[in-house]
Amino acid sequence: MTPFWFPDMAPSKRQALAATLVGWLVISVATVAVAQVSSTLYPYGEFAALYDDNIDQAAGRNGRGDFISTELLGGSLQTDAPQKHFALDYSTLESQYLSTPSLDRTFQDHFVGASYDQRLSPNITFSMGDSLLIGDAVSSAIITGGQVPLSLQLLQGLLFRSSSHNNFFNSDISYSNPQSWRASATVEQLFFSGGGTSGESFGQGCTLTADHDLGKSEFDLGAAYSFEDFRFSELFPPTETHWPQLRLIWHPDANLDVLVRTGPIFADSFAGDSNGVPHSGGWTIDPGGMLQMRYSGRRFNVSIEGGQEPGLGAGLAGAALYRSASLFFEYSISRRLVVFVKQGFLQTSANGSSSQLITYSVGATHQISQHLSLTCQYYGIRNTVSGSSAQVIGVESGTNAVANLFLVGVIWQVAPIHWRW
């Protein structure tokens, strides 16, 4: 019998995802098995009416619209101990279609996020995180929507436009001395399965960074090196990338942080077959760079990010260059009314293929009472696949898919539940 939380998945895939969740359960138990531990549970739900003008989720099939009722249920468990913090977040989306009941989804779309942070010494911090996303494109947007900035993980799922399984794991150890150096070492892995003929894709690697405080100035200068290894379940030959970087950080005050990373991207593509077609290997060099900016004001928050970096082709076209940009803006009109705007752009570019996604969202949330809020949101999703990317998922090159979603709902959040161990 297939467990309801891993529907239509191969046994090896279910075992991998189950192992991830069991690992986080072990961490949770270990965290609470010490003295002076406090936990807080934040349950919530969102009940909404949604209109989608393209209910067919397959890439390149612009279908008819339908009205959908959705129930988003979830919660966040936060556990704190001396020098430790653990968080476990879960959401599931149920949906019922008015004119197309065959598309109803129950216990098929899930988001699980977990993080663990521990201060090992006054200057050293260790952290781990895992983010698992299961579901179709529209469900993924709603589950992780609201006022959460768009991430590359979500954009990959939306780009594929069909039901996918997407898991991102990272672990980091960092050293910080505000008057001198900051350094960190990070390992990460991204798993993507788009179902159908696309196979499975893995990207794993590590990043080393070191930044030095330039005396009394507002700048930090540093360097970084990133290594990524991409694997594609026999659809494409493996690829490795090496990205040395220069880093410049500007922090004029406590509210503003700007990070610039730049350097050449060296890619080593191995020789092999791609869908029965032999490909030669070799090195390529491309420019790389990223800009990240965060600003927090009394009434608003803004986050801007963009640039070019190596990335996983999400089962579409092997390793690729990611050209991405995202914007998140949130403004508090009053203590009860918040408006927000989100925009995301992702373009993947590889030999003989390319894919492009543009998303945008605008919405508002109004707190009606202590436990109820009203939300109104609009989502727009535009994507195009070309070359071998289109061949892998069975559509013509240059095929595009468009979806517009309009949502009105009520958010229910009860008082947090606190307890101590």
Q: Is the pTM of this model over 0.85?
A: no
Higher pLDDT, 141 or 288: 288
- pLDDT-based confidence at residue 59 (cuts at 50, 70, 90): very low
Highest mean pLDDT: which range of 261-265, 376-380, 406-410: 261-265
- Return the pLDDT at 21: 55
Amino acid identity, position 325:
A
pLDDT of residue 304: 94
For residue 307, what pLDDT band results from cuts at 50, 70 and 90?
very high
| Number of neighbours of residue 386 by Cβ within 10 angstroms | 19
Q: What is the pLDDT at residue 138?
A: 67
pLDDT at 230: 85
Q: What is the pLDDT of residues 327-386, one digit of tens each?
A: 999 999 999 999 999 998 888 877 666 778 888 899 999 999 989 999 999 988 888 766
Q: Is 12 exposed, middle or buried (0-12, 13-18, 19+ CB in 10 A)?
A: exposed
Query: What are 281's two structure tokens?
Result: 């290997």
Task: Identify the pLDDT of residue 348.
Answer: 83
CA atoms of 110 and 108, how far apart (whole Å): 7
Indicate whether 115 pLDDT > 80: yes
How high is the pLDDT of residue 332? 95
Contact of 312 with 320, CB cutoff 8 Å: yes
Give the pLDDT band (50/70/90) at residue 42.
very high
Q: What's residue 6's pLDDT?
A: 36
Is the confidence at residue 126, as pLDDT, over 60? yes
Distance of CA 97 to the CA centre of its chain: 27
What does the pLDDT read at residue 7?
40
* AA letter at 225: Y
Mean pLDDT rounded to a whole number for the chain: 81
pLDDT at 29: 53
- DSSP secondary structure of 284-304: EEEEEEEEEEEEE-SSEEEEE
Residue carrying structure tokens 């090195």: 283
The CATH classification number of 41-420 equals: 2.40.160
Is the pLDDT score of 175 beyond 80?
yes
CA distances 405 to 115, 228, 354, 376, 378, Å, are 31, 36, 25, 11, 6
Q: 181-193 and 200-213 as β-strands: parallel, antiparallel, unpaired?
A: antiparallel
For the cut 70, the answer to whether the pLDDT of residue 296 exceeds it is yes
How many CA atoms within 13 Å lie on the side-chain side of 225?
A: 3
| 228 against 278, higher pLDDT | 228
For position 178, what pLDDT does the model report? 74
Which structure tokens are listed for 199?
């196979």
Per-residue pLDDT averaged across 287-304, rounded? 94
Structure-block tokens of residue 43: 């349950």
Task: Report whether pLDDT(58) > 60.
Answer: no
**pLDDT at 208 > cutoff 80:** yes
Q: Work out the number of other CB atoms within 10 angstroms of the CB of residue 298.
A: 6
Which stretch of 142-151, 179-188, 377-386 has the lowest confidence by average pLDDT? 142-151
pLDDT exceeds cutoff 50 at 273? yes
145 CB-contact burial (10 Å; exposed 0-12 / middle 13-18 / buried 19+): buried
Does the structure show a pLDDT above 80 at 206? yes
Given a cut of 70, whether residue 389 has pLDDT beyond it is: no
Q: State residue 325's pLDDT score.
A: 92
